[in-house]
């Protein structure tokens, strides 16, 4: 696997680390459990990193030097593609011929490195985009910066060269077909999963107490990178609208933001804090650093509702993790979120990003304990349809089909030569 721009070992929720990091590490571990040895190549971002790290039994993360360790933004990384690709090829050259059977690249930058490696090694290339520039640009937040033409062209090239494209949802497959002229026959739909043994329902009282929240507080949570694409400001604007209609609810309401600045959010680091002050909600808002493991589970359990107001999400792992913890989700009906959230069963999907409608929905969920409890029960049931083991099984099926197709292609070429 190639994951050039972000390491699966990085903490999700800050910088360029997010759901893709979770995806790569989790599926690699499950593939290894199924008997597939996995090596993940990523760019080294610190001199303190070991060349190789055993991330899980059967899963090795290789850190490839490519450019300065620190100070490079994602938009700077295309200039380091040559160095990164050279490092990947050199690692393979130290192995016996035919050591790797298949390449799976993640994000378009890795796809370009994989494009060269697949030709050099004579193996098929499977690619997962995770996000698509044309889709992001079509659903851009107001004032946000569009993805550059170089990325659009780069994605088109990878789509054309990949032997198989793995997507999270049927809507993503449709985007590839209609926006990138992808061949439907080489697309496999494999939904992501969730760790159902870690993310489970439980009592969030201790977490609320540790955060200094009153025992009778209503708690909304936003988890993820703080950037315009994720629309974190919409939660504040929705609460301001709710206060105009039901001030008593807002007197008991607290909002948790769990995540770090990322992307174009780095250009306006104080914007969310300033908005909270402007809307007179600063006392209701708690900004927390990204969390992982049990500390992340505790946040989901402490929340009454998790908000996912993004302008686009290829899937939305935060929504799935929250639901696995028995916490209802209110999400924008975009991208893969209509798959990740079962509208009216595990949460509520909202068309659009109007603060009034978001405030109305959040107010109803907070007022009606019975409705919230019903959705909480449905949340866990819905999440149980997804697991990383199922994702790995779907990937194995896609890998087999790709390998069989490559073998048949080679056989036909051999007959033509004969």
Q: Residue 347: which CATH number?
A: 3.40.50.2000
Residues 183 and 90 reside in one and the same domain: yes
Question: Which is nearest to 228 in space by CA: 316, 162, 143?
Answer: 143
- Same domain, residue pair 236 and 310: yes
Residue 38 domain boundaries: 2-193+388-416
- Average pLDDT of span 128-149: 89
The confidence score (pLDDT) of residue 416 equals 72
Residues 87 and 225 in one domain: no
pLDDT tens column, 157-189: 999 999 999 999 999 999 999 999 999 999 999
Q: Which two tokens stand for residue 251?
A: 């007197």
- Residue 34 and residue 180 in one domain: yes
Q: Clarify whether residues 8 and 33 are in a common domain.
A: yes
- Residue 76: pLDDT above 90? no
Max distance between CA atoms of the chain, in angstroms, equals: 82
Q: Which residues are annotated as a binding site for 1D-myo-inositol 3-phosphate?
A: 5, 16-21, 74, 107, 131, 151
Whether 131 is covered by a domain: the verdict is yes
Evaluate whether residue 82 is within a structural domain.
Answer: yes
User: Are the C-beta atoms of 239 and 246 separated by less than 8 Å?
Assistant: no
Q: Where do we find the tokens 């721009």? A: 5
Could you tell me if 250 and 341 lie in one domain?
Answer: yes
Residue 166 belongs to some domain of the structure: yes
* Nearest residue to 307 via CA among 332, 335, 289, 282: 332
144 and 158 inside one domain = yes
Residue 75 has pLDDT above 90, yes or no: no
* Domain-embedded: residue 135: yes
22 domain-assigned: yes
Q: Per the annotation, where are the binding residues for UDP-N-acetyl-alpha-D-glucosamine?
A: 11-12, 19, 225, 230, 291, 313, 321
Residues 82 and 68 in one domain: yes
Residue 162's pLDDT is what?
97
Residue 417 has pLDDT above 80, yes or no: no
**Same-domain check for residues 18 and 132:** yes
Question: Has residue 278 been placed in a domain?
Answer: yes
- Number of compact structural domains in the chain: 2
Q: Is the pLDDT of residue 303 over 80?
A: yes
- 222 and 89 assigned to the same domain: no
Q: Which residues are annotated as a binding site?
A: 5, 11-12, 16-21, 74, 107, 131, 151, 225, 230, 291, 300-301, 303, 313, 321, 327
What's the pTM?
Answer: 0.91
Torsion sign, CA atoms 85, 91, 97, 100: negative
Structure tokens at 155: 């994605």
**In this structure, are 404 and 368 located in the same domain?**
no
- Tell me, yes or no, whether 198 lies in a domain: no
pLDDT at 265 over 60: no
Closest CA to 21 of 107, 101, 108, 114: 107
Mean pLDDT of the chain: 92
The rounded distance, in Å, linking the Cα atoms of 396 and 387 is 14
Q: Residue 199 falls within a domain, yes or no?
A: no
In tens, the pLDDT along 17-41 reads 678 989 999 999 999 999 999 999 9
242 & 346 share domain? yes
What residues are designated binding site for Mg(2+)? 300-301, 303, 327
């Amino acid at each position: 696997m190639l994951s050039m721009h972000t390491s699966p070992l990085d903490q999700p929720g800050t910088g360029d680390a997010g759901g893709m990091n979770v995806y790569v590490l989790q599926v690699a571990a499950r593939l290894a459990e199924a008997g597939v040895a996995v090596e993940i190549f990523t760019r080294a971002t610190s001199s303190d990193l070991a060349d190789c790290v055993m991330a899980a039994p059967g899963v090795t993360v290789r850190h490839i030097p490519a450019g300065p360790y620190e100070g490079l933004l994602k938009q700077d990384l295309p200039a380091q593609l040559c160095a990164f690709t050279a490092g990947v090829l050199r690692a393979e050259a130290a192995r016996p011929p035919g050591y790797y059977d298949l390449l799976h690249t993640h994000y378009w930058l890795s796809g370009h490195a994989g494009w060269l490696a697949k030709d050099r090694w004579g193996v098929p290339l499977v690619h997962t985009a995770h996000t698509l520039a044309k889709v992001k640009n079509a659903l851009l937040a107001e004032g946000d910066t569009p993805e550059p033409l170089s990325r659009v062209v780069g994605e088109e090239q990878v789509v054309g060269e990949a032997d198989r494209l793995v997507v999270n949802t049927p809507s993503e497959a449709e985007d590839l077909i209609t926006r990138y002229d992808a061949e439907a026959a080489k697309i496999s739909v494999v939904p992501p999963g969730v760790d159902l043994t870690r993310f489970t329902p439980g009592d969030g009282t201790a977490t609320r107490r540790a955060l200094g929240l009153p025992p009778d507080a209503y708690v909304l949570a936003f988890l993820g990178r703080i950037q315009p694409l994720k629309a974190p400001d919409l939660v504040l604007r929705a609460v301001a609208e709710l206060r105009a209609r039901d001030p008593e609810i807002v007197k008991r309401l607290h909002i948790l933001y769990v995540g770090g600045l990322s992307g174009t959010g780095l250009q306006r680091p104080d914007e969310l804090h300033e908005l909270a002050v402007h809307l007179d909600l600063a006392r209701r808002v708690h900004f927390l650093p990204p969390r992982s493991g049990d500390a992340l589970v505790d946040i989901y359990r402490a929340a009454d509702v998790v908000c996912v107001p993004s302008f686009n999400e290829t899937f939305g792992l935060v929504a799935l993790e929250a639901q696995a913890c028995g916490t209802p989700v209110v999400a924008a009906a975009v991208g893969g979120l209509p798959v990740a959230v079962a509208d009216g069963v595990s949460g509520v999907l909202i068309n659009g990003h109007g603060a009034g409608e978001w405030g109305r929905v959040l107010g109803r969920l907070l007022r009606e304990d019975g409705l919230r409890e019903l959705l909480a029960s449905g949340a866990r049931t819905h999440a149980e349809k997804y697991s990383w083991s199922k994702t790995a099984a779907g990937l194995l099926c896609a890998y087999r089909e790709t390998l069989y197709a490559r073998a048949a292609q080679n056989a036909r070429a051999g007959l033509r030569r004969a």
